[in-house]
Amino acid sequence: MKILPAINTVRGTLTRWMVFSAVAGCLSLVCSAGCQTHQSPISVGRAHYLYHSGHYEKAIDFLDRELLFRPSAEGYYLLGASYYRLFERSGDLSFANRAEAAFRMALQRDPDHAPTYYELSGLLVRQGRVAEARRLIEDWATRNPGRAEPRVQLARIEWLTGNKGAAEDQLIEALAIEPKNSRALAALGMIREESGLLAQAQHNYRMAAHFDPTQPKSFGSHGRGVLASADRGESPPSHGVLLGNRPQTLRSEGYPR
């Protein structure tokens, strides 16, 4: 009888197919867990939550594990930002070095990752490496002649180092590229506010809020006061009231993000 050999052949084929399918399924699971080149939205969301909640050590522990399997520019940026906040808190240079290394890893993965340029250039300025910070952003601007964002960040470097005239020039150049860029308008309003040009500052803040209704959150209390007085039809507050006790050293928090 040739039926039994035929059945055995079919059984053997089915067995091999089942084994192959099981192995393929396992490989698929492994690859889905470890072969991705970008972090999943869930892991990025968790990292953002920890970072924005001020749990920087926990964010670092979480990202150290995640980046082994799901490396991404956003992940390295959050890792660098977490180390940077610890450096600001403690002054420990080892945190600054780790922050810089993570930021540069982020830029390797995404050479146009704007938040990384913002943080890395601020870190370099804080360490007195102003020329290096300028060169970093200028190279980015050269590669992106049609984007306003690099000019906005160059203006920030000039503002952080007290060069308000150069900062204003950079922002005007940014607005020539993108006239509706709300961050450029808000930053220009802030600089003009500090220079006592309050009517112009009112106009810039109002335009920034018009193009992006969420932008007033970044104005700071003084900028919001200028905008509020404009909305009420009042004269701008006095220059002394606007400036208050604003620190004149490194002022990263005041610049619109």
pLDDT single digits (tens) 221-248 = 455 555 554 454 444 444 333 333 333 3
Q: What is the pLDDT of residue 109?
A: 97
Alpha helices, H only, 144-181: 149-160, 164-177
Specify the residue for token string 């052949």: 9
Q: What is the pLDDT of residue 239?
A: 39
Say how far apart CA 215 and CA 204 lie, in whole Å: 12
The number of C-alpha atoms within 13 Å of 52 and in the hemisphere containing its C-beta is: 6
Asked if residues 98 and 76 have their Cβ atoms less than 8 Å apart, the reply is: no
The tokens for 20 are 């192959």
Closest CA to 96 of 60, 129, 123, 128: 123
Say how far apart CA 194 and CA 48 lie, in whole Å: 33
Domain 39-145: homologous superfamily in CATH = Tetratricopeptide repeat domain (1.25.40.10)
Say how far apart CA 235 and CA 102 lie, in whole Å: 47
- Residues contacting residue 218 through CB under 8 Å, at least 6 positions apart: 183, 186, 256, 257
Sequential pLDDT tens for the chain (257 residues)? 454 444 344 344 434 434 334 333 433 333 333 333 444 555 788 999 999 999 999 999 999 999 999 999 999 999 999 999 999 999 999 999 999 999 999 999 999 999 999 999 999 999 999 999 999 999 999 999 999 999 999 999 999 999 999 999 999 999 999 999 999 999 999 999 999 999 999 999 999 989 988 876 655 545 555 555 445 444 444 433 333 333 333 444 566 76
Q: What is the pLDDT of residue 127?
A: 96
CATH topology for the 147-257 domain: 1.25.40
In the chain, where the domains are located: 39-145, 147-257
Look at the chain and count its residues.
257
Specify the residue for token string 């360490």: 127
Q: What is the pLDDT of residue 214?
A: 80
39-145 and 147-257 have identical folds: yes
Q: What is the pLDDT of residues 13-43, one digit of tens each?
A: 434 434 334 333 433 333 333 333 444 555 7
Q: What is the pLDDT of residue 45?
A: 87
